[in-house]
Amino acid sequence: MKKRMEAYLRVLCEEIGARPTGSEANRTAVEYVCEELKRSGLRISKQEFDCMDWSKEEGTLTVEKHKIPIAPAPYSLPCDLQGELICVHSLEELRTAPISGKIVVLCDALASEPLMPKSFIFWNPDEHKEIISLLENSGVKAVLTVSLSKECLLPVIEDGDFTVPCAMVLPEHVPLLCTGSLASLTLNTVRRPAKAANILAAYGSGKQKICLSAHIDTQPGTPGALDNASGVAVLLAVAAKLSGRELPCQIEFVLFNGEDYYSTPGEMLYLNTSLTHPDEYLCAFNIDGAGVKGKHTAYSFYECPQNLMESLTDLALKTGDFEQIEPWPQGDHTLFSFSGIPAIAITSEGIFELTDHVLHTESDTLEWIDREKLEVLVDFLLDAICKIA
């Protein structure tokens, strides 16, 4: 078993590597996981959808002969243009500023939080929609957003449906971006139409099911070990160990494709096609960020009845090295809980401290992963399934 877990992790993170939704590598990862699930005797189906394969090379920004380091915002359109800069600091200012034909720099209040993608319907504040609409409909040539971090370039706009070329700059370079200065901006990016798919795999039969899910996609440029090869590997290992067991209900494995893609297309498809009968689900376990070395495995409950929480807490105590944490409102477990299905999110204690400098970067490697913890999690899930079924 140990050898198998190691092989899953190595193939996903090292042989395949970054596997963003829409990329060739993503399709390779989907094929690999399908083959492994088939080997374990599961019935496989795929939910295919349209998306975009986005790639980038360097971008350049020159302002009055100064070269300023930038990077294209994720999913940005390409461009090669000149224009006058205009710095805008608030929504009120954006409503009246003469931005037409210019390169708009979003500063201060306009660059204080990520703006929701246009297609994101669950939570999309009116101000976000208005900012995006003003930028798209005022003849703006390009947008520069000041990074949300001082140390690295974090996007304010991450939206493959945004119709204006967009790049990110560090706060330290803002003094060089004066209103009225002439700038040249080149962004070498490509948006290609592509396909991707969720994987659904079923073990056993019965009207009711227990769901185990993990997302298979990554951000571009990261090996995605914690986010989320470990979750995928755990699902594969559970599937392999289920082989031959008689259960009174069905076990559904879902490999979501799009957790780290701007419009979460795989999640939306599953929500609209598979989650239409929430009463079929006994509960759902979502695994994301599991197996950090030196940290407890962390679990949290969403919409779970008392007896389920007690029974799983009991099991967690018996297994050891588990810790209950406060629920958090992001990630694929919310798809289930919003549909009224009891959900359990499994991750690692302190995972949020790794956001930005490990997760979604090239540092998210297998170095972080304690294989032993993943094996323990596999056995925990098998025990949980038997208890709940």
Q: Which residues bind Zn ion (CB under 5 A)?
A: 227-228, 288
Please, is 332 exposed, middle or buried when counting C-beta atoms within 10 Å of its C-beta (0-12, 13-18, 19+)?
buried
Give the pairing of strands 182-203 and 250-256.
Answer: antiparallel
Q: Which lies closer to Zn ion via its Cβ, residue 132 or residue 377?
A: 377
Q: How far is the CB of 381 from Zn ion (least distance, A)?
A: 18
Q: How far, in Å, CA of 261 to CA of 333, rounded?
A: 16
Buried b (16+ CB within 10 A) or exposed e, 77-114: bebeeebebbbbeeeebbeebebeebbbbbbebbbeee
Q: Which lies closer to Zn ion via its Cβ, residue 36 or residue 288?
A: 288
Q: Which lies closer to Zn ion via its Cβ, residue 36 or residue 227?
A: 227
Q: Which lies closer to Zn ion via its Cβ, residue 189 or residue 228?
A: 228
Q: Which lies closer to Zn ion via its Cβ, residue 252 or residue 267?
A: 267
Q: How far is the CB of 248 from Zn ion (least distance, A)?
A: 31
Q: How far is the CB of 288 from Zn ion (least distance, A)?
A: 4
Q: How far is the CB of 342 from Zn ion (least distance, A)?
A: 21
Q: How far is the CB of 163 from Zn ion (least distance, A)?
A: 28
Q: Which two tokens stand for residue 373?
A: 């913890």
Q: How far is the CB of 289 from Zn ion (least distance, A)?
A: 6
User: What ranges in the chain are assigned the alpha helix state H?
Assistant: 2-10, 24-39, 91-96, 126-137, 230-242, 265-273, 306-319, 333-338, 371-388
Q: Which lies closer to Zn ion via its Cβ, residue 204 or residue 258?
A: 258
For residues 238 and 201, the answer to whether their CB atoms sit within 8 Å is no
Q: Which lies closer to Zn ion via its Cβ, residue 227 or residue 303?
A: 227
Q: Which two tokens stand for residue 123?
A: 């939570």
Which whole-number Å values give the CA distances from 188 to 24, 53, 123, 288, 342, in the listed order? 20, 14, 31, 32, 45
Q: How far is the CB of 178 from Zn ion (least distance, A)?
A: 40
Cβ of 161: how many Cβ atoms within 10 Å? 14
